[in-house]
Amino acid sequence: MLKEFAERKIAKCPEGKRTFFETSNFPWVAQLETGWRTIRSELDAILVNRSQIPNFQDVSTPQARLTQGEDWKTFFLYLYGHESEDNCRRCPETVRLLKAIPGMKTAMFSILAPHKHIPGHRGPYKGVLRYHQGLIVPTPKTLCKINVGADFRYWEEGKSLIFDDSHWHLVWNNSDFYRVILFVDFIRPLPFPVSVLNRFTIWTIGRTPFITDAMDNVRRKVA
């Protein structure tokens, strides 16, 4: 299949097998970190009606094995290039900052309940990298962690992580409070001609039922 072929090519590129990336190599990160309190204020307005925010498994039904109940909620703004117009209207400043990310494809607020664990899984495609910005992170920070491959990291409010989510990864919120991050997927920087193959593969994934059905669910379940 095209996706598997593209992933093999990407894995052979420089840093193709890396788990976490230095955020300083992505100039746009500084702008998002400067604006994190603005993003947080729009998130706070959404969380007033937290019970109405869709559960992850109600958006992406094929991934229901990862979670049940109301312990993982997701407020999608974009999904593989598809826009949730109503949700974006509620977060205009967040959207403005997101548009500064080259190749931004997916963006959402990821809301984990206290003592929620997301079991091991991998992302759908290696051709995007994942960005996390801590927005609400309980203290001490070691209570909330992510394991990607053999590496562990912790979120901090206003700070960023970038990683390749095609590696097996797990998430824990071992605190008594909610943990919320800004979650973004963007096109992985790659050399030519793999970059062309990658963009075409992302375009095709964005038109599969796995994505289009999830986006339909987002639009039906706008908080």
Task: Give residue-wise pLDDT tens across range 159-180.
Answer: 999 999 999 999 999 999 999 9
Domain with 157 in it: what CATH number? 2.60.120.330
Residue 220's pLDDT band (boundaries 50, 70, 90)? Answer: confident
pLDDT for res 222: 56
pLDDT for res 62: 86
What global pTM score does this model have? 0.96
Range of the domain at 56: 2-220
Structure tokens at 17: 């097998």
Token pair 């052979």 is found at: 12
- 93 or 220, higher pLDDT: 93
pLDDT for res 1: 87
Give me the sign of the Cα torsion angle 13, 122, 23, 26.
positive
pLDDT for res 64: 82
Do 37 and 94 contact (CB within 8 A), yes or no?
Answer: no
Question: What's the total number of domains in the chain?
Answer: 1
Inter-CA distances, 203 with 8, 94, 108, 215, Å: 18, 24, 19, 15
Q: Rounded to an integer, what is the distance from CA 173 to the centroid of its chain?
A: 16
Q: Is the pLDDT of residue 68 over 60?
A: yes
Please provide the average confidence, as pLDDT, over all residues in the chain: 96
Residue 66's pLDDT band (boundaries 50, 70, 90)? Answer: confident
Q: Is the pLDDT of residue 63 over 80?
A: yes
26-45 average pLDDT score: 98
Residues paired with residue 48 on neighbouring β-strands, in sequence order: none
Helical pair 194-205 and 2-11, crossing angle rounded to 10 deg:
140
97-154 pLDDT per residue, tens: 999 999 999 999 999 999 999 999 999 999 999 999 999 999 999 999 999 999 999 9
